[in-house]
Structures are given as structure tokens and as C-alpha cells.
Amino acid sequence: MSGEFSKRITDDFAISFGTTYTFLGPIDATVPGANGFQNLETTFKYRVFKDPAHEFVMSAGLSVEWGGTGAQSVGADPFNTYTPTIYFGKGFGDLPDTLSWLRPGAITGQVGYAIPGRSFTTTFGIDPDSGLSTADTEFHPRVLNWGGTIQYSMPYLKSAVVDLGLPDFINHLVPLVEATLQTPVANTLTSGTMTTGTINPGVIWVGNKFQIAAEALIPINRQSGTNVGFIAQLHLYLDDVDPRGIGKPIFGGPVQPASPFMRN
């Protein structure tokens, strides 16, 4: 179970705080389960470029996972991890009239480079058979976190292309396919370099002040998992819930609403 709070400092700069509570079931009678928080994460994000006419935006960010703030029993690392990231989004609203049906489409993407604050961890122990001391070293790889989405906005279709007279529920939907992938690229002696991740088809229902999303989680290979999972999310638009209060940037006036229904 994950949660995140994001607050604009200015119209272009925001800070977010998030964490995850993990439930691990027992593997067998000898390996008990564990519950606990993962490390606290803080993300600093700055919008470096926007082109409204071509529906393009790019941001740069830095995420910090604060080591030691979570429970090691659920896998939280005792060291910090720093991830500089580039984010982008491109809508297709600038396509010509001959391709008007593609205008509600959009792509988003992000590429980050996760840098652990510690290169390796060595664990010392005693071999139960020989009684001799042992030392096991685990190298912490630098990982390329990358992915993106392809989506089609039914709200955009109705408001900016053509009103097909569809039911109101359909006009609030955004079907999408998301990819979330990780590739170890350095310090990979014990981790290997195989890419893992999931492909996530799903749908978002967009309201005036919130959205609800649901996606399947399909592993891309056996190393990513052997079963299809499921994820759901509730996202509140604080900019729209309270535009002159909690949703307002600390410096500056109210910003453009997040909901497409409140923009149009």
C-alpha cells in the first residue's frame, strides 16, 4: 500500500513525499512473514520546458530514498539511493484534420538512473558445518529505471475533437498501457544485467477533483514474476479541491486545474 503527497512550491517546482507499507506472507514454517514501511522517498521536480501549442512538456527531477527510515525485515535498504530522472509528455492535439481521431492520444515517459549510496554490503557469519567464519558480499547495482505510457483520452475526444453522444461514464475514461522497467547497468557482479518489469494495461476514470485508475501487472519475463497482478489508485487533484488553499503554490497564484473537465 503506497501513498504520496505532492506540493507545488512555485508553478514550475514541486516536492513530493511518499512511502509504501509492505505485507509479506510466510514462505513456509521456517520463514515467517513480515510487515513494515519501506524507506521514505522525497522527489524534487522542476518543469524545464513546456510548449502548449504542441502539447509537450518536460521536467527534471531528483528522487532520494532515505536509507534506514524503513524496516529491513521487508527489504528496506540501510543506505540512501539517489535517482535523477527526466520526465516528458506529448499530446497529439497538433495533428492535422486528416488525423483528428488520433488527437486524443498521448505518450508519456521517464528515464531515471538510480545510484545507491553504498556500492556493496558484506555480511559476516559462521558456517554451521565447519564452524569457520564466512563473508558474503552483495553488490548494489546502479539501475536504469525507464518506462512510459500510451493513452487515449475520451474527455479530450469529446471536448476538442467530436462529441459522439456516448454515455457520460465512457466520456470520463482514459484507456492506457503503461510499461515500468528496470535494467541494472553498473556494479552488476551479483545482480546481473537482465531487464525486469511489467506491462500494465488499464483504464483511468477522470472526475472533476479526483481520478481512479486500475491496471493489470503483466511480468515481461520469469525474473519479473510468474503471475499477473493488479494495482488500483485514487488520485486527488489538490489544485482543484482547494485551489486557493492547500492546492495553491507557496509562491504564486492558483494554477491551471488538473481536471480536463474544469479546463474546458
Residues 6+ apart with CB under 8 A from 119: 139, 140, 187
Q: Which domain holds residue 74?
A: 2-263
Grid coordinates of 145:
529505471
pLDDT tens column, 147-167: 999 999 999 999 999 999 999
Number of Cβ within 10 Å of residue 200's Cβ equals 21
Asked if the model's pLDDT at residue 254 lies above 90, the reply is no
pLDDT band at 88 (very low <50, low <70, confident <90, very high): very high
DSSP 29: T
Give the CATH number, domain containing residue 10.
2.40.160.40
Please state, in angstroms and rounded to a whole number, the distance separating the CA atoms of residues 209 and 141. Answer: 40
Q: How many domains does the chain have?
A: 1
Number of Cβ within 10 Å of residue 84's Cβ equals 14
Instruction: List, in sequence order, every residue forming a beta bridge with 46; answer none if it has no partner.
Output: 13, 60
Closest CA to 43 of 21, 65, 22: 65
How high is the pLDDT of residue 264? 46
Say whether 133 sits in a helix, a strand or coil.
Answer: strand
pTM given for the model: 0.89
Strand segments, DSSP code E, in 38-172 are: 41-51, 56-65, 81-91, 105-116, 120-126, 133-139, 142-152
Grid coordinates of 231:
494495482
